[in-house]
Amino acid sequence: MSLLEVSDLHVRVADREILNGVNLEVNPGEIHAIMGPNGSGKSTLTNTIAGQEGYIVENGDLRLNGTNLVELEPEERSYAGLFLAFQYPVEIPGVTNMEFLKTAVDSHRKQRGETALSSVEFIKNMRALVTKLDFNPEFLKRGVNESFSGGEKKRNEILQMLCLDPKVALLDETDSGLDIDALQVVAKGINEFRDSNNAVVLVTHYQRLLNHVVPDYVHVLLNGTIVKSGDASLALDLERMGYAWLEQDSGP
C-alpha cells in the first residue's frame, strides 16, 4: 500500500478551481519533488493535504496509509503521520520553541496512549537533536520564529519535522530564500529524517536543493494538474528550459 495517495483531486478556493484532477502516489522510502511555475497550485496541494481551512475538496480522494484524510481535522491528520513544513512559518511571540515542541510532541504521545515525557528527558533529547543539526542551542529558548531570520525559520521547520517523526513530510518551498550554508543544513536535516519507512514530498522552484536531496520522482504541476513526471533528470531539464515547453502540452 502506498503511503500517500492523491487521486483525481479537485480543489476550490473561494470560487476558483485551483486543482483539477491531481494524481500522486508516494511509497515508503521515496522522495518526490513537485515543481511548477508560480500559481500552478503547488501550495494549494500541500495545504489541502494538511487540511487548511478554505481549501475545499470538490472531488477526489486523499489517503495517508489507507486512512481517508478529507474528513479529518488538521490535528488528526498530524496524528495520522502527516507533516507540513510551511512556506511562511508564522511567529508565536512569548511561546518558546522548547515549549511549543514539547506541547506538540506530548499531544502526539497522548494520542498514542503514551505518557508525556518529563521536561528533563525532553530537553535532553532536544539538545542532542539540535547539536546533530548544527543549530545553536539558544534556538530552543527563543519564542517560536520570533524575530528569526528567513533561514532560521526554515531550519525550525526541519527541527519540528525531526521531532514529530511523521510518515509523510510535505516541504513547501523550504529551500526558498536560503543561503548556501542554510541550504546545506536543511538538506542534512531532510537526509537525516528519511528512511525506508517514511516519505518526503518537496515542493520547490529550484534544482539546487535537489543536488543535496536527490528525488526518486519529479512531477511538474501546471494549471492545476500534473502534466509530466520523471526521474531526477527532469528537474535538470526544467532548470535549463523552463516550463514553456510543457505549457503547450497542457493547453486547454
Partner 1 sequence: MSNNIATTPEELISKEYTAGFVTDIETETLPPGLSEEVVREISRKKAEPEWLTEWRLDALRRWEKMEEPTWAHVKFPPIDYQAISYFAAPKGDKPKSLDEVDPELLRTYKKLGIPLHEQKILAGVEEEPSQPRVAVDAVFDSVSITTTFKETLKEHGVVFCSFSEAVQSHPDLVKKYLGSVVPKTDNFYAALNSAVFSDGSFVYVPKGVRCPMELSTYFRINAENTGQFERTLIIADEGSYVSYLEGCTAPMRDENQLHAAVVELIALDDAQIKYSTVQNWYPGDENGVGGIYNFVTKRGTCRGARSHISWTQVETGSAITWKYPSVILRGDDSIGEFYSVALTNNRQQADTGTKMTHIGRNTKSTIISKGISAGHSSNAYRGLVRMNPGARDARNYTQCDSLLIGSECAAHTFPYIESRRQDAIVEHEATTTRVSDDQLFMCRQRGIEPEKAVSMIVNGFCRDVFRELPMEFAVEASKLLEVSLEGAVG
Interface positions with partner 1 (CB under 8 A): 50-53, 73-75, 77-79, 83-84, 86, 88-95, 99-100, 103-104, 107-108, 111, 143-144, 160, 164
Instruction: Provide, rounded to whole angstroms, the least separation between the CB of residue 11 and partner 1.
Output: 16
Shortest distance, position 98 Cβ to partner 1, whole Å: 12
Report how far Cα 123 is from the mean position of its chain's Cα atoms.
Answer: 25
Reading the block at residue 61, the C-alpha cell is 480522494
Q: Which is nearer to partner 1, 55 or 217 (CB)?
A: 55
Closest-CA residue to 196 (of 170, 220, 216, 174): 216
User: Least distance to partner 1 from the beta carbon of 18, Å?
Assistant: 18
Task: Report the residue number, 85 or 238, with the smaller CB distance to partner 1.
Answer: 85
Q: Which is nearer to partner 1, 53 or 138 (CB)?
A: 53
CB of 220 to partner 1, least distance (A): 26
Please enumerate in sequence order all residues whose Cβ is within 8 A of that of 218, keeping only pairs 6 or more positions apart, or say none.
Answer: 32, 33, 34, 35, 210, 229, 230, 231, 232, 234, 235, 238
Handedness of CA 108, 112, 118, 124 (dihedral sign): negative
Spatial contact of 115 and 121, defined as CB atoms under 8 Å apart = no
Pairing, β 55-64 against β 67-68 = antiparallel
- Comparing CB distances to partner 1, the nearer of 107 and 184 is 107
Given the complex with partner 1, which of 90 and 244 has the nearer CB atom?
90
Q: How far is the CB of 39 from partner 1 (least distance, A)?
A: 20
Instruction: List the grid coordinates of 9.
Output: 483531486
CB 107 to partner 1: min, Å: 4
Nearer to partner 1, 143 or 230 (CB): 143
Reference 226, options 48, 16, 35; nearest CA is: 35
